[in-house]
Structure 1
Amino acid sequence: MSFFPKILLQPEVEEYLGNMFRNKELISALGTLEAERKYESLLNRLSHPPAFTTVRVNTHLASVKQVKNLLFEEIHKQYKGLSVPVLQHPQLQDILLIPVIGPRKDLQKQSSEVIVGAQCGNSVLRGAHVFVPGIISASKFMKAGDVVSVYSDIEGKCKRGAKEFLGTKVFIGNGISELSRSEIFSSNGSLKGIGVRMTDPVYLSPSLDNVLSSYLFLQNLPSAVVSHVLNPQPGERILDMCAAPGGKTTHLATLMRDQGEVIAMDKIANKVKKIKQNAALLQLNCIKAFCCDGTKALAIGKKEDGQEGPPFSAESFDRILLDVPCSGMGQRPNMAYFWTLKEVMSYQPLQRKLFSMAVKLLKPGGTLVYSTCTITLSENEEQVAWALENFPCLQLQSQYLTGRAK
């Protein structure tokens, strides 16, 4: 796990996390050395991609077996002779896993270099090519067709257009430049498309852009787990409160066999449009997407007849998924996280407003799943403890994975 440096954090954020994961309860249960080891392991793992690329099968249109065979053929073409299996998750039967190969330590570094931003570097580690807007620097005489080594500027100190960068940079693989240096930096930022086509990334992951797009949805494993835990049933009315871009929304509709109603909300209109596009692509008809701030989703007084969108009457939904906006510190790979502690801690009040709204919209006896993609106690365990204390109607339940698939 030491191929890359551990995630780069603001000092105040690292101190906060360190204190959080070295708490008295954990040290008492594990001992000081083991607690420290687990904390360091966490920071190291955050900078590396997951061991598998995870895709969800749209079982509304095809069986897992059919899609698995089609995907295997595609992976075989991409990897050109490498024998890479496509595995079915043992518990989540609609999830397929493609092993990520790496880190590859035998790659030869080239004299011609391209420096990309940290976010672009993270995408490359998950199988993406380098797109022109992500390029910060390129060697002085780089031409189209050159074999180049790509580095990630994890400290954000490289100046755009620099001909050389001697600061902290992390090697993420080799590729072929699609453009010359002059074309990249004399375009006033108007160029788009691929700037470097990655041929030998440090982590080899499949490129799934436009691959079986109606049958597969690229989705991180924890995101897929959430929908299975909610366990929606055909005919129910489900609310996805913070739904964009619609990965979980479409998963819920698929698990319900497109029978019932899935209401998806997001407060940004362009993101709502993306939810609708994904629903159409996967041919799911039970999804209704609305532009609405989740904190304002409860109707005051009686709703007008025929009004199907928000705000909604109290106790309107059988199950609610509350995947809240969060500090995002659990997303991988992430070699550099630049937020301040104030920014990290800013989400808790919003999360509690959304939680309060969800409780009011949930039917008695219904199911509410709260989820984040971060690792802070303040956004996870502390929020659950707060909810149980403030809403006596809630009961904490063990999570069971249904794993339904065709």
Structure 2
Amino acid sequence: MRTYLFVAAVAGGVTYLLTPLIRHMAIEFGAVGEVRARDVHTVPTPRMGGVGMLLGFVVSMMFASRLNLTNRLFAGSMQPWIIVIGAIGVCLLGVCDDRWDLDWMLKLAGQLAISVFVAWGGLQVVSLPFGSLVAASPSVSMAITAILIVASINAVNFVDGLDGLSSGIVAIGGIAFAIYSYIIARSSPNYASMATLIDVALVGICVGFILHNWHPAKLFMGDSGSMLLGYLVTCASIVMTGRIDPATIHTSIYLPVFMPILLPVLVLFLPVLDMCLAIIRRVSKGQSPMHPDRMHLHHRMLRIGHTVQGAVLTLWGWAALIAFGSIMVLFFPVGYVGIGFAIATVLLTVITMYPYLKHRIPEIRAENAALAAAREQTRGSGRPKHSAGTVAAGGRHERPEGPEERGRA
């Protein structure tokens, strides 16, 4: 455990120290995000923060290759360095987008090329959860691996809209998954786990970057950072499948996360949900799935009255509920976990809706009062107005006697 904490500290420290330098480089390079109609920020802000995160990850992996517990993971295996090369490729692709705003089809093609390269290098989903674990063919493994990596890359990219949001969500998911992978590794003769190593380094670079990215942010991670985070969290989940033997392990043992295909979905539930809603919303309007808009989850949070910090913290809470709720069944009975999950869901729902209710309930009361007053006024103006005479018993109006009537009498 101390080794993993050291790796996380190295990753976070390097990211934190180098990020100010990266900020100056981004300004000189021209990677400064102009204020667009869909943006929340109001001041042009440098991007390319992902470069600092990449450097933190690479340095931490180099340290890990020399540590007693984890050096055996690098001995005689190219997989760790394939992951590092893929991370460099994804980050450089993001840098190009941060600087020149690449067309979405070109960016997607680059993501697919890097994903296929990583899968060809040995990072593959080796089993599928169909009743019991079924070994996948090499071609199917490569295809599923590429799809998972590209989907996760874009999911994190979609949710990167508020200061500290995506890095915090990924850090929360990384902590939950690191706990799970560490528990799995303890059941094997070798405690060292590449999945746990990637996760703790991922958490480290997220924490190191958040210190510069908290609202108001001095630097955005840009696509170079969001794509890197999505790539790494998926690599960690796929790496773990290499420890599972389909011939001896049944899926029911791993029901808390139901194996590799659902791991990125659970860890990145909010980004994946936001991405799916955005694609459905845009396609239904006849638009490109990558067409920008202001209907993401974080935009909706701001619209109902949350501050930027409040929206980020609330979405962090939802991410933590889903990520940690999926691993709590490892430690507690399912019934207790379900009760706790329900209570936390109600609490987070109240917190989520509180700004809206705080402003809307007084407005509803004022609207109801105004409506009641209008009805009362309408009812009053509709009453019959009688003359000075009285109404006779038969219902006829009697006028007071004039001079002529009195004379006749």
TM range (shorter): under 0.3
Of Structure 1 and Structure 2, which has the larger fraction of its residues in helix? 2
Of Structure 1 and Structure 2, which has the larger fraction of its residues in strand? 1
TM-score (norm 1): 0.24
TM-score (norm 2): 0.24
